[in-house]
């Protein structure tokens, strides 16, 4: 059984989520201790516990320590589920996108549909539109296709968002994503829920004003919703040979123009890195490179990325896995 120190490196929930994904795929049991021990609320919170419970169902795992607040977990995967439906309510505005990212590698080529209830657009997590505009498009580049549907948006602190993930198929081979190439277009979604329509319009206009300096092919659509948890935000995706994304969420006292500007400037910074994928996608793409063999260039070697790299090496022993450089960096799993 692998022993993993949950306080290592970044010391957050990503250590747990990556461990769960790779444990199920590689059928490797693990014990993680000091889970989020340096956080203000240490141990398994609702979002983390949701990932554990869903993964437990997906592989009939034997577990110990899977309860709220637990700082130690033993997880022993058994027989992987080939088909079925799972619905899980996080019970808070905990990010359903982070849970999705941990689950998707496990359900490829299986007839499994998962419905998640919680936060779709919350701080310190990829927005659901980032998953649709960037993450899913990167997966398509490496040969994986699937469906992520937004049934209802959920913002902090109310949550209540609903998404479904299903029909993931693919037989990816070794991939090479090291060049972004020429910028072809920029797509985006500015959304607002149970707030005035002009907030999303102002976010869009602010982003376009900045992005027009680098492209004349910009298409940002509006997603206006009523009777859902209050919130707003914008997600942008630049398309070339690869896809680079950025997002920004609204908050009380933050002008809509600032939200649009923030996302646009972040996108430009990521593009100027010269990498093929942005800082956030770098973390998430590592698992696929390690499982299927791949090379990619990431915009910035964050603490999250370094931590993920070390965890992945514990589970994947049949490949040479290394990182070269810093900002940008090259991840190789051969």
* Tens-level pLDDT at each residue, the chain (334 residues): 999 999 988 888 999 999 999 999 999 999 999 999 989 899 999 999 999 999 999 999 999 999 999 999 999 999 889 999 999 999 999 999 999 999 999 999 999 999 999 999 999 999 999 999 999 999 999 999 999 999 999 999 999 999 999 999 999 989 999 999 999 999 999 999 999 999 999 999 999 999 999 999 999 999 999 999 999 999 999 999 999 999 999 999 999 999 999 999 999 999 999 999 999 999 999 999 999 999 999 999 999 999 999 999 999 999 999 999 988 999 999 9
**74-80, long-range: CB within 8 Å, 24+ apart, which pairs?**
74/1, 74/29, 74/30, 74/31, 75/19, 75/20, 75/23, 75/29, 75/30, 75/31, 75/32, 76/1, 76/29, 77/23, 77/24, 77/27, 77/28, 77/29, 80/24, 80/27, 80/106, 80/110
Q: Which domains does the chain have, with CATH numbers?
A: 185-272 (3.30.360.20)
pLDDT value at residue 9: 87
Structure tokens at 283: 């973390």
CA–CA separation, 215 and 79 (whole Å): 50
What pLDDT shows up at residue 11? 87
Residues annotated as catalytic (active site), given as ranges = 304
Give the CA distances from residue 234 to residues 59, 100, 188, 274, in Å, rounded to whole numbers and listed in that order: 36, 20, 7, 23
* Nearest Cα to Cα of residue 190 among 235, 150, 244, 127: 235
Q: Is the CA virtual torsion 303, 305, 308, 312 positive or negative?
A: negative
Write down how long the chain is.
334
Whole-model pTM over 0.75: yes
Whether 237 and 188 have beta carbons less than 8 Å apart is answered as yes
């Amino acid at each position: 059984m692998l022993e993993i120190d949950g306080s290592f490196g970044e010391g957050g929930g990503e250590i747990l989520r990556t461990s769960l994904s790779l444990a199920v795929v590689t059928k490797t049991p693990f014990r993680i201790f000091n889970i989020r021990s340096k956080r203000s609320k240490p141990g398994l919170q609702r979002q983390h516990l949701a990932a554990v419970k869903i993964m437990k169902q997906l592989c009939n795992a034997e577990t110990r320590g899977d309860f709220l607040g637990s700082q130690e977990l033993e997880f022993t995967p058994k027989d992987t589920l080939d088909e079925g439906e799972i619905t899980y309510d996080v019970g808070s505005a905990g990010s359903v996108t982070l849970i999705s990212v941990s689950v998707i590698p496990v359900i490829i080529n299986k007839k499994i549909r998962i419905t998640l209830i919680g936060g779709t657009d919350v701080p310190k997590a990829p927005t659901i539109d980032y998953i649709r505009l960037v993450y899913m498009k990167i997966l398509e580049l490496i040969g994986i296709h699937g469906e992520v549907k937004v049934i209802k948006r959920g913002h902090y602190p109310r949550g209540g968002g609903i998404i479904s993930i299903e029909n993931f198929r693919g037989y990816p081979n070794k991939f090479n994503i090291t060049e972004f190439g020429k910028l072809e277009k920029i797509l985006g979604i500015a959304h607002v829920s149970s707030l005035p329509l002009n907030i999303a319009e102002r976010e869009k206009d602010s982003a376009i004003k900045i992005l027009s300096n680098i492209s004349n092919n910009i298409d940002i659509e509006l997603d206006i919703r009523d009777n859902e948890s209050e919130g707003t935000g914008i997600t942008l995706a630049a398309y070339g040979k690869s896809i680079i994304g950025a997002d920004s969420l609204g908050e009380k006292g933050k002008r809509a123009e600032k939200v649009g500007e923030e996302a646009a400037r972040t996108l430009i910074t990521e593009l100027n890195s010269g990498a093929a994928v942005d800082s956030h996608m770098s973390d998430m793409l590592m698992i696929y490179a390690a499982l299927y063999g791949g090379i990619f260039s990431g915009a910035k070697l964050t603490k999250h990325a370094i931590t993920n790299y070390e965890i992945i090496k514990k589970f994947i022993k049949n490949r040479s896995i290394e990182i070269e450089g810093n900002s940008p960096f090259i991840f190789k799993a051969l």
